[in-house]
Each structure stands twice: as structure tokens, then as C-alpha cells.
Amino acid sequence: MRQFALTTQEGLTFTDYFKLNIDIEEVLAYFGYTFSSNELTLPQNPQEVLWYGDLYQRIQASLPYISLTSEAARREFLIAPILIDLARYNRVKVKVEFPLDVSNQLRGTIDYYIQAKHNFLVIEAKNADLQRGFTQLSAELMALDQWTQEITPTLYGAVSIGNVWQFGKLDRTEKHITQDLHLYRVPTDLHDLLRIILGILGEDGS
């Protein structure tokens, strides 16, 4: 922890938490939070997502013709279509590259930020590294916890490398972040993924 404290004197952005490969428990402890990995029971919309079939077919049909070796490609062809349809059919506003500046150690931009009954954000892990991506996500959740004035006990986030998503939850009362052990794959688990996103946002999926 001492080494991390010395690093933070110069300031850190959200992206730095990915690049520095710092132990996630050490990072959270520095800010007064705790961490665990467990199977989360995430909110799920009970209804069928009516626009799922069209989205699945579009993603499935495009995969053989797209190179997904870069972060930009995964964002544009796998993450963005999901969020575009979410905004289109459920009238949810998606903010892209959302700036957030809480302190010298918690600042930067959130790739995708959606605000509804809960705060839901998405980042994509560079170099297909989910664990480093989750450390970056945790820094964003802590910043959001300190920034937002909404009275909600839980903040949700997800880290995605495009074809794989992983969720996290911040208990604001306990100051505890839980990393879900489940991974959701696109397009295989797309319907479950959509039901979780809609459940977090409190939407009906119609």
C-alpha cells in the first residue's frame, strides 16, 4: 500500500489503474473500500426482450467478416450495437466518453455511462485483459460513488472486451465492491446479458 500511496501523489486517471497493473485489493483499501469475488445475483428483467432476435442476427452475421483484434473494433462492432439498440428501443440516454473528476486520484472519462434508477457504466478492457479492466472499473465506481447525489444503495458496472462481459457491484453503505464470477459471452449469452442490463436500469425490455 505504501508504494501505491507514493504513486498517487502525482495523480492518476482511470486508465492508469489499468496500465499500472496494481493489485485491486490494494487500490480499494487505499480509498477505504473492500473487495471480493463472488457469484452475484444480478437484477434481471423477467420478460423476453422483444428486439433481441434482430440484434443477435446482426451481430452473428457480421462476425465472420470483422477483425476484432483492436479495442476500437470490439467497441464499434460488439459493444456499441448493444447500447444503440438499448437507447433506441428503451429510450435510455447513453453518454459516451463521460468526463468525471472527483479527485487527483479519481478522474478521467468513462467510456459509456447510463443513468437510470441505478448508475450503470461500461468500459472495455484493453488487450483483452478483464482483470485489469475490472480494476479500472472499480476506480470508476468509487469515483461515481463520491460524485453522484442520487440516493441509491447500489451502483452497478460492467467491464467488456466485446465478446465477453463481466459485472461488478458497489455496496455504497458497506463500501464494498464485488466482482461477479460469471462471464457473459456475445452473442451466445446475449439475451441473458440484455435482461441483466434492463433489470439494472429498471426497464421492461419492450
Bigger pLDDT: 150 vs 181:
181
Exposure on the CB side of residue 51, measured as CA atoms within 13 A: 16
Give Cβ neighbours of residue 128 (< 8 Å, ≥ 6 apart). 161
Q: What is the pTM (predicted TM-score) of this model?
A: 0.92
Question: Per-residue pLDDT tens for 52-93?
Answer: 999 999 999 999 999 988 888 899 999 999 999 999 998 888
The CA distance from 171 to 84, in Å, is 28
- 132-134-140 Cα angle (round to 5): 115
The CA distance from 149 to 143, in Å, is 12
Of the candidates 159, 153, 187, the residue with the CA atom closest to the CA atom of residue 173: 153
The pLDDT of residue 202:
86
